[in-house]
Structures are given as structure tokens and as C-alpha cells.
Amino acid sequence: MYQISKARLGELFTRIASSEELILPLEKNGTSQYGKWTPEAEVRLDRLNTVRSAKDCFFPQTENLAAFQVKGKSITVIDQRTPKDPFVVFGVRACDAASFGILDRVFLAEPVDTYYQMRREAGTIVTLACNEPEETCFCHTFGIDAVNPGGDVSCWISGETLYWKSLTEKGGALTEKVKDLFTEGDEAALEAHKAEVTAILEKLPLRNLSLEGFGGDATQALFDRPEWAELSEACLGCGSCTFVCPTCQCYDIKDYDTGHGVKRYRCWDSCMYSDFTMMAHGNNRTSQMQRFRQRFMHKLVYFPANNNGMYSCVGCGRCVEKCPSSLNIVKVIKAFEKHGGEK
């Protein structure tokens, strides 16, 4: 384990960026968003959550899949996949780091999504433990430890010191490139810092949120509950919750005519949109209640039923903060008193 003064983080970033792209939270229009580091960039490691998660680095909002060139009756397919240069995502919180395991279950299962796979193989994740969690945080509900955030390298900031610990082969390779900037880490000081943050986590208002009654065995019992109608009444179907969510993985694939061929791309989609399940024969979800129910049943019931109990939520709190109607997964959990809620 190593440490470095916060005053020298610029040197650390410069060293990393000299050999691979460095992506980390940056100031943008009064918010914190992931972006490419430059010496002029304003780094915001002090803010807890970025507007969107680091999911964008591996599953971008829009990406080209293929192109088709048409000459007479001849059609040439052009593969849009190109080898991805190595990159580092720095400052990933524990909840967002855990989300990659959920996305991996979807995109790395057979048949493997090679677009996602190339980015995952090229990327090194440097996590940053939380110091002052928000009241909207509830990652503990899903077994995530905010003071031990995982990733390829774990980092902690205490006072004017950043601690650095390599956890994987990728993390070790990155550490070799920068370790001459570090000094040996003070293990006792770091453990004391972790204990202080753990004490804060214990006092969060959502600390005792319970998932009792949810999971893969609750499908029919929860699906037929009358509470869905009341819960969904205020839903606008705007999709904000899905676009800030680090675990949502729904997408659409579209073709457009370039004038001299066709390009095929995919873009994020939302199960909260009225045309999400539109097919040739019609739409099998005809009300916002059905769409609302689908979103939360997927996260709390369907996904764990098909993934050995793994929930499709990491408790980051973004949907709690961003929903214009104050609807979110916490309200859903609490609404089903017999199936979940506060212990």
C-alpha cells in the first residue's frame, strides 16, 4: 500500500496520462461529470457522485455498430469495431464499481457483446472510497462496502493524503508505472480513517433499508400487488431514472441513411418510455403502471432470479435525487411493508 500528498495529484495524473487516456470526474457547468483529463481540467474528487456513472466508459450512450456501403446491387458491410487503446477511469465510487459486475452479467454472457468486451479489457478502474456519503446513499443494502470500494486499484483520501492499494493484475501494472511518485503507506492511519467513515455510514437514514421479501422467489406475489397503481400515478415516463442509473442496460438499435449507404448504431433506451416494447403486433405494456412495475420488478425480482440472487441496483441514490416526481426504488421497497422496507 502506498500514499501520496494531494498536492502532488497533478503529477500522478500527468504520469498516468502520458501512457494512456485518463478519465475522471471533472467540473462541468456546476456539476461533476466524467471526462478526459488535461492539465487545464478542474478535477472534482471532492464530490460524491457524478451526474452519470462511469458506465459511459464501457457502455456509451451512443455508438456505431456497423456501416453498409451500397453500390448498385452490391452491399459491403464495414465493421466499426477497432482495438481500444488502454485507458484508466479514476475516482469511481464503490457503488459504481459494483455496477460493472452487473453489466458484465449481461454483456459478457454468451453471446458476448464484443463492443463492451473490448472496452472492459482495455479499461483499468481506480476506485475512490467515500468520505462523506449522502443521505440518499444506500449501497449497504446491496452488500457494498463504501470504505473498501474494490476495482483494480482502491484509493482513499484522508486529509491531505491519498492512499493507493493495487488489487488486481491490471492494478499492479498501473502501479508499476507510478510507484516512484509514492511513499510507503501508513496502514494504521488508513484504518483509523476507515473507522471514522464507517461510523458515518452507520448513521445514514437508509442504513436499515431491507430487501426482505424481494428476490427471485417473489415474482407472482409482488407482480399482483395493488400498490403498483398508486406508486406509479405520479410517474411522468421521462426516463431520467434510467439514464442516470449505473446498472440499466437497455438499448435500441437503429439504421439511418447517409445518402451513400447505411449506418447502424445503438443508443440507450428506457423501459419507462411508451414505445419501448412496441413491436409489429403492438405493445404488450400499454400503461405507465405496467412500465413502472417492470422497471422495479426487473431490478428487485427478475434480475436476481436469473443471476444467483444478484440485484440490479447498487444503491447509488441517483434516482432518488433526479426524479422530478420524487419516485425511486427506495419508495418502492418501503411501500411493500410485508415484502421489504425498514426493519
Question: pLDDT tens for residues 300-315?
Answer: 999 999 999 999 999 9
Answer yes or no: is pLDDT of 38 > 50.
Answer: yes
Give me the mean pLDDT over the 60-87 stretch: 90
Residue-wise pLDDT for 219-261, tens only, equals 888 888 999 999 999 999 899 999 999 999 999 999 999 888 8
Among residues 184, 207, 230, which one ends one of the domains? 207
Residue 172 inside a domain? The answer is: yes
Domain co-membership, 9 together with 32 = yes
Q: With cut-offs at 50, 70 and 90, classify the pLDDT of residue 343.
A: very low
Residue 73 inside a domain? The answer is: yes
Domain co-membership, 223 together with 201 = no
Residue-wise pLDDT for 40-60, tens only, equals 999 999 888 899 999 999 999
Q: With cut-offs at 50, 70 and 90, classify the pLDDT of residue 144.
A: very high
Domain co-membership, 139 together with 223 = no
Give me the mean pLDDT over the 157-175 stretch: 97
Domain co-membership, 314 together with 170 = no
Give the model's pLDDT for residue 95: 96
Question: Rounded CA gap, 295 and 288, in Å?
Answer: 11
Predicted TM-score (pTM) of this structure:
0.92
Q: With cut-offs at 50, 70 and 90, classify the pLDDT of residue 169.
A: very high
Q: Are strands 123-128 and 153-158 parallel, antiparallel or unpaired?
A: parallel
Domain co-membership, 185 together with 326 = no
Answer yes or no: is pLDDT of 63 > 50.
Answer: yes
Domain co-membership, 189 together with 230 = no
Domain co-membership, 263 together with 324 = yes
Give the model's pLDDT for residue 283: 62
Give the model's pLDDT for residue 68: 93
Percent pLDDT > 90 in the chain is 75
How many domains does the chain contain in total? 2
Give the model's pLDDT for residue 260: 80
Among residues 160, 184, 207, which one ends one of the domains? 207
Q: With cut-offs at 50, 70 and 90, classify the pLDDT of residue 327.
A: confident
Question: Rounded CA gap, 22 and 36, in Å?
Answer: 6
Domain co-membership, 337 together with 263 = yes
Give the 3-state DSSP-derived string for 232-243, with helices as H, strands as E and coil as C: HCCCCCCCHHHH
Q: Are strands 282-283 and 278-279 parallel, antiparallel or unpaired?
A: antiparallel
Question: Rounded CA gap, 285 and 165, in Å?
Answer: 48
Kindly give, in sequence order, each residue whose CB lies less than 8 Å from that of residue 105, ignoring residues fewer than 6 positions away. Answer: 307, 310
Residue 212 inside a domain? The answer is: no
Percent pLDDT > 70 in the chain is 96
Domain co-membership, 150 together with 287 = no
Answer yes or no: is pLDDT of 339 > 60.
Answer: no
Rounded to a whole number of angstroms, the CA Rg of the chain reads: 22
User: Is the CB of residue 268 less than 8 Å from the CB of residue 302?
Assistant: no
Residue 113 inside a domain? The answer is: yes
Domain co-membership, 138 together with 183 = yes
Q: With cut-offs at 50, 70 and 90, classify the pLDDT of residue 280.
A: low
Give the model's pLDDT for residue 282: 67
DSSP 122-175: HEEEEEE--SS--TT--GGGGT--TTS--SSEEEEEETTEEEEEE-SHHHHHHH
Domain co-membership, 223 together with 203 = no
Give me the mean pLDDT over the 16-21 stretch: 96
**Sheet with 74-79: strands ordered across:** 74-79, 62-71, 261-268, 251-257
Residue 95 inside a domain? The answer is: yes
**Higher local confidence (pLDDT), 68 or 286:** 68
Q: With cut-offs at 50, 70 and 90, classify the pLDDT of residue 275.
A: confident
Domain residues for the domain of 54 are: 2-207
Residue 252 inside a domain? The answer is: yes
Among residues 207, 239, 262, which one ends one of the domains? 207
Residue 302 inside a domain? The answer is: yes
Helix (H) or strand (E) holding 296: helix 288-297
Residue 214 inside a domain? The answer is: no
Q: DSSP assignment, residue 299?
A: I
What are the φ/ψ torsions at residue 195 (nearest 5 degrees)?
Answer: -65, -40
Domain co-membership, 57 together with 148 = yes
Answer yes or no: is pLDDT of 191 > 90.
Answer: yes
Give me the mean pLDDT over the 116-126 stretch: 97
Averaged confidence pLDDT in the chain: 92
Answer yes or no: is pLDDT of 202 > 80.
Answer: yes
